[in-house]
Structure formats: structure tokens, C-alpha cells
Amino acid sequence: MVYTLLSGSRIHFVEEMWGVEIGLDFHFFETHEIAAMLRKSRFTIERLVEREPYHEVEYPSQRAYILARA
């Protein structure tokens, strides 16, 4: 199982994306909190990678990718 998350602790609401009117909440979670929940649920974290956003292409937030196995 691979988890991709926007790292942080906030909710970001979007009303428009690519010229289309929408209503969408992005929930940001702290990487260490998600990893702790996975471990508590008996998942083994195989790999955890954090990175900065690709400029001008992605929302300006930290990214995290977690590879976990049950």
C-alpha cells in the first residue's frame, strides 16, 4: 500500500480548479502522525520519502510518500 499525502496540519478549500467551479477540501496531515497510525494498525513502514513541491506545477506544500505493508 502506498500513501501519498500533503504534509502539514490544515485544510485547504478550493472553489475553482483548471477553470472549473468545484468545492474541494484538501486535508493536510503530519507525516509522523500517519506513520504512527499505520504502525499502530500493524503496518510495516518500508519506505518514507518527503519532498518539496514541484514549482509552478503543484500546490506549494511539503509532500510525503509512505510505502507500508500489512
> In the prediction, which pLDDT does 25 show?
82
> In the prediction, which pLDDT does 9 show?
66
pTM: 0.65
> In the prediction, which pLDDT does 3 show?
47
Residue 66: is it exposed, middle or buried by C-beta count within 10 angstroms (0-12/13-18/19+)? buried
* CA atoms of 65 and 67, how far apart (whole Å): 7
Sketch the domain layout of the chain as residue ranges.
2-60
> In the prediction, which pLDDT does 56 show?
79
The ranges of the chain with pLDDT < 50 are 1-3
